[in-house]
Amino acid sequence: MRKSSIFAISIFLLALCLTACDSGDIEEHGYSTASGGLTLRFRAQLSSQNDWEETGYGIVLAGFSDQSSYAVLQRPIPLASMNGEEMEMVVSNVSNSITTMELAVTNTLRKRIVTFRTVSLEAYKGRVDTIDIDLGRIDVGLSGFMQQGIFNQACIQCHGGNGRKAGTLDLTDGMALQQLIDVPSSQKPGYTRIVSGDAEGSLLRMILHEGGENLLNYNHTEVLSSQFKESLEDIKNLIDEWINSL
Ligand code: HEC
């Protein structure tokens, strides 16, 4: 009789302990997730001719808060994985302060220069499972940077978008390179839109820089500064890098 009641009591205590431990576990789990932040698994097929190696800039997956153009966290993408094959990268501990994750070009100070893709994290708030994000196929070389970062952002509204082709120049995807590289200017006799390997000799560069105000009927010198307020010098450097790499 005594033995069995001791047994019953120990079973009861054991059960109590197990439930207590169990609920403790759940609480702890919830807590660590809140402080650890989101876990994101990115997939992408990235291609580049290793253009970035010597430039002082890098292709990264970076988290930004609304207030700043400096990345709160960033993970460099290894050059070896920019070979056009499917790659996967897991980024964990993405804290609440981060509102977007971006596939971007940043400089050595982690400042955002241009963005290839943006993923808003608003919809994922509070998720504890691993979130899969497919970024698709992206050219992250200098030509891809020019198309997605510069032409699509700052030029196609006049050059090719909405059916308008100012200066008979189409800068939309698939058209830009063939219309620019070693093609004579339609507006300025004796000039070439882009002279491959020669940034300074290229009309495109001249019109975007100080001194190029009167080369064409439309002054392009404010086009970049109005779009890229904080990264203007970096953008100009990268345009030179691109032309010189052609
Ligand atoms: C607000 C409209 C507008 C925007 C934005 C614009 N352009 Fe233009 N662009 C023009 C016009 C208009 C001409 C033709 C000027 C002329 O007739 O002399 C031109 C001409 C050119 C030419 C010379 C073409 C030739 O054959 O001579 C180049 C190169 C050029 N733009 C590049 C750019 C680039 C690069 C951007 C973006 C960074 C850009 N433009 C943004 C309006 C624009």
Give the CATH number of domain 38-140; options: 2.60.40, 1.10.1740, 3.40.190, 2.40.50: 2.60.40
Q: Give the strands of the sheet with 58-64, arranged side by side.
A: 73-76, 58-64, 100-106, 112-120
pLDDT of residue 230: 85
Query: For residue 243, is pLDDT > 50?
Result: yes
Where along the chain do the CATH 2.60.40 domains lie?
Answer: 38-140
Residue 86 β-bridge partners: 45
SS3 92: strand
pLDDT of residue 50: 73
| AA identity, residue 228 | F
Q: Give the strands of the sheet with 130-139, arranged side by side.
A: 83-94, 38-47, 130-139
Q: Which atom of ligand 1 is nearest to the CA of 157?
A: 5
Residue 154, ligand 1, Cβ within 6 A:
yes
Secondary structure of 25-86 in HEC code, one letter for each residue: HHHHHHHHHHHHCEEEEEEEEEECCCCCCCCCCEEEEEEECCCCCECCEEEECCHHHCEEEE
| Nearest CA residue ID for atom 32, ligand 1 | 204
Q: What is the mean pLDDT of the chain?
A: 88
Q: Could you read off the pLDDT of 61-116 as tens digits, one per residue?
A: 999 999 899 999 999 998 888 999 999 999 999 999 999 999 999 999 999 999 99
Query: For residue 181, is pLDDT > 50?
Result: yes
* Residues 42, 59: Cα–Cα separation, whole Å: 14
Residue 164, ligand 1, Cβ within 6 A:
no
Q: What is the pTM of this model?
A: 0.81
Contact between residue 94 and residue 142 where contact means Cβ atoms under 8 Å apart: no
DSSP 110-172: -BEEEEEEEEE-GGGTT--SEEEEEEEEEE-SHHHIIIIIIIIIIITTTBTGGG-BGGG---S
In 3D, which of 26, 141, 133 has the Cα closest to residue 77? Answer: 141
Q: Could you read off the pLDDT of 200-235 as tens digits, one per residue?
A: 999 999 999 999 999 999 999 999 999 898 899 999
| Nearest CA residue ID for atom 33, ligand 1 | 155
Residue 166, ligand 1, Cβ within 6 A:
yes
In 3D, which of 183, 113, 174, 178 has the Cα closest to residue 147? Answer: 174
SS3 243: helix
pLDDT of residue 54: 81
pLDDT of residue 216: 97
- Using 50, 70 and 90 to split pLDDT, how confident is the model at 4? low
Residue 219, ligand 1, Cβ within 6 A:
no
Residue 79, ligand 1, Cβ within 6 A:
no
pLDDT of residue 3: 54
Q: Could you read off the pLDDT of 135-174 as tens digits, one per residue?
A: 999 999 999 999 999 999 999 999 999 889 999 999 999 9
Query: For residue 25, is pLDDT > 50?
Result: no
pLDDT of residue 199: 98
